[in-house]
Amino acid sequence: MNADTNGIQADPVSEENKVKAEEAKEAANKLFKAKNYEAAIAKYTEAIDLNPNAAQYYANRAFAHIKTEAYGFAVADAERAVKVDPTYVKGYYRRAAANMALCRFKDALQDFRIVAKKDPSDTSVKAKLAECKKIVNKIEFEKAISVDPRQKNLAETIDLNAIAVDSSYDGPKLADGQITREFIEDMMECFKNQKKIHRKYAFQIILAVRKMMLELPSLVDVTIPQNCKLTVCGDVHGQFYDFLNIFKINGLPSEENMYLFNGDFVDRGSFSVEVILTLFAFKWLYPTSVYLTRGNHETDDMNKVYGFEGEVKAKYSEQMFELFSETFTALPLAHIVNQKILVVHGGLFSKDDVTLDDIRNIDRFGKRQPEHGSLMCELLWSDPQPLPGRGPSKRGVGIQFGPDVTEKFLKRNNIDLLIRSHEVKENGYVIEHNGKCITVFSAPNYCDTIGNKGALINITPDLQLNYKTFEAVPHPNVRPMAYASQFGGLFT
């Protein structure tokens, strides 16, 4: 082997393989530009196999992994890039981006500093460095003054009577503090026209739902009555106009037309406030017909990076974001439908002995950011894999679980099926693990770039499943992650 004084030792590569590797890389670049990221990853891998000494190949594959939200794989590739060539700036930049996506802010800050030092003229990097430093400093400050989150109860300090509604306000109003279907329909029309409801009514909606959620266990039992149906929807990610289209094709929530929205209501899409207020309003109106599961994006750290915190502050206030944050911690983590179908946002666990009672008894209060390795974290973050057993998460959080893991879990708990979300799918849904694990994703043309369909699942009282898929609909000219400060361009 030849010793590289700057990086790792490099194996000799023939000129023929170098040429073939470049051809594979160029093919991968074309696939990447066509947004065919999985195929691009395969071609970058081919290039790496032919020539493992080119830092650019790892950095390019890291970027493709970022596009598929495989942030754990992206970090690994970026690290390989800087080991191969410690002077390769893009490797540090890709690692910073992947660590930002994982909310590893200190690690990202270190790499942004390296990039800024190597290229001091890049104003975009300087801005990202400053923003990342601000986040790290804020987190350190919050730790220094922190108290038990259970004692931090902003909800009890809000005096609705002290919030006046100006006579010039011409939007929908809550009469006597009570929610009505007419109010919600007027509110959706208001949102559709890019208007806001008064902050007093927004606070009332959030407070009412928070009170409901505090009374629920972490695993909620759902029963579908006769002559009713339950619709399970996956991630909607602030895509309000596609969210409205779900109601257009499947009907508005009602006592007979039940819904379970399975997490990731907010972030990425720039109409997250409109989505979450509509969902909360319907939950308030139909508490036993509308169900909401917490997703990995209903957490503070993700909201800092992916836009929801910035959006709430821009449209309302920091106080309202804090109230949303408190409410997100109260959201249930799972639902069991007719005692036979478990619905969670992410997936299963790193151990085999988990029971439904273990899920039901998770103390979800006081943990705004789920701890790595906890049942709660794995519920929100894990993904299925085709191979048996368990593997490290491509995301860098949670695990990947195989068909045998699913089978054992279902058998142990006497249930038939796992429905989860968390992953974009080309056709909106996919059935895996011998029909025992279903992924449903309800944000079509995710982030205005992926081109996927959205899907939903209608479930009858006798647990028959019917799938509907749908395309994206037009929305106002507001880009995804428009409120994500300096970091929107890293992931879109």
pLDDT, tens digit, 9 for 90 and up, residues 2-53: 334 455 667 789 999 999 999 999 999 999 999 899 999 999 999 999 999 9
Could you tell me the two tokens for 310?
A: 């910035």
468: amino acid identity, one letter: K
Please give the pLDDT value at position 8. 62
Which three-class secondary structure state does DSSP give residue 43?
helix
| 1 belongs to a structural domain | no
Give every CB contact of residue 142 below 8 A, 6+ residues apart in sequence.
Answer: none
| pLDDT at residue 429 is higher than 80 | yes
| pLDDT band, very low/low/confident/very high, at 119 (cuts 50, 70, 90) | confident
* Full strand arrangement of the beta sheet holding 341-344: 219-222, 334-337, 341-344, 417-420, 437-440, 429-432
For the question of residue 198 being annotated catalytic, the response is no
Domain harbouring 387, CATH code: 3.60.21.10
Please give the pLDDT value at position 7. 59
Are 135 and 159 members of one domain?
no
| 4 belongs to a structural domain | no
* Full strand arrangement of the beta sheet holding 454-459: 290-292, 257-261, 229-233, 454-459, 465-470
Which three-class secondary structure state does DSSP give residue 78?
helix
CB atoms within 10 A of CB 448: 17
Are 161 and 136 members of one domain?
no
Which three-class secondary structure state does DSSP give residue 406?
helix
| 137 belongs to a structural domain | yes
> Mean pLDDT of all residues in the chain?
93
- What is the C-alpha separation between 135 and 127, in angstroms, rounded? 12
| 7 belongs to a structural domain | no
Please give the pLDDT value at position 336. 98
Domain boundary among the residues 94, 111, 144 is at 144
| 149 belongs to a structural domain | no
CB atoms within 10 A of CB 176: 4
Containing structural domain, residue 217: 154-491
Are 434 and 469 members of one domain?
yes
| 162 belongs to a structural domain | yes
Short-list 170, 237, 247, 160, CA closest to 202: 160
Number of domains in the chain: 2
Are 166 and 122 members of one domain?
no
Are 92 and 168 members of one domain?
no
- What is the C-alpha separation between 398 and 367, in angstroms, rounded? 16
Are 208 and 134 members of one domain?
no
Please give the pLDDT value at position 55. 96
Note the helical H segments in 51-148: 55-67, 71-84, 89-101, 105-118, 123-144
Domain boundary among the residues 121, 144, 167 is at 144
| pLDDT band, very low/low/confident/very high, at 368 (cuts 50, 70, 90) | low
Q: How far is CA 57 from CA 1, 27, 61, 81, 187, in A?
A: 20, 12, 6, 8, 49
Cα-only R_g, the chain: 23
| 2 belongs to a structural domain | no
Short-list 436, 391, 390, CA closest to 411: 436
Report, as an integer, the average pLDDT of 337-348. 98
Domain boundary among the residues 144, 165, 200 is at 144
- Residue carrying the six token digits 């109010």: 183
Are 107 and 167 members of one domain?
no
Please pick, among 297, 335, 345, 422, the residue that the annotation labels catalytic.
297
Do 32 and 65 touch, CB atoms closer than 8 A?
A: no
Per residue in 152-200, pLDDT tens? 588 889 999 999 999 999 999 998 889 999 999 999 999 999 999 999 9
Domain harbouring 115, CATH code: 1.25.40.10
For residue 459, list its beta bridge partners. Answer: 230, 465
Report, as an integer, the average pLDDT of 316-345. 97
Are 97 and 234 members of one domain?
no
Q: What angle do CA 220, 222, 226 make, to 5 degrees?
A: 170
Classify strands 454-459 and 465-470 as parallel, antiparallel or unpaired: antiparallel
Are 97 and 194 members of one domain?
no
Are 371 and 282 members of one domain?
yes
Are 321 and 439 members of one domain?
yes
| 8 belongs to a structural domain | no
Are 205 and 272 members of one domain?
yes
| pLDDT band, very low/low/confident/very high, at 427 (cuts 50, 70, 90) | very high
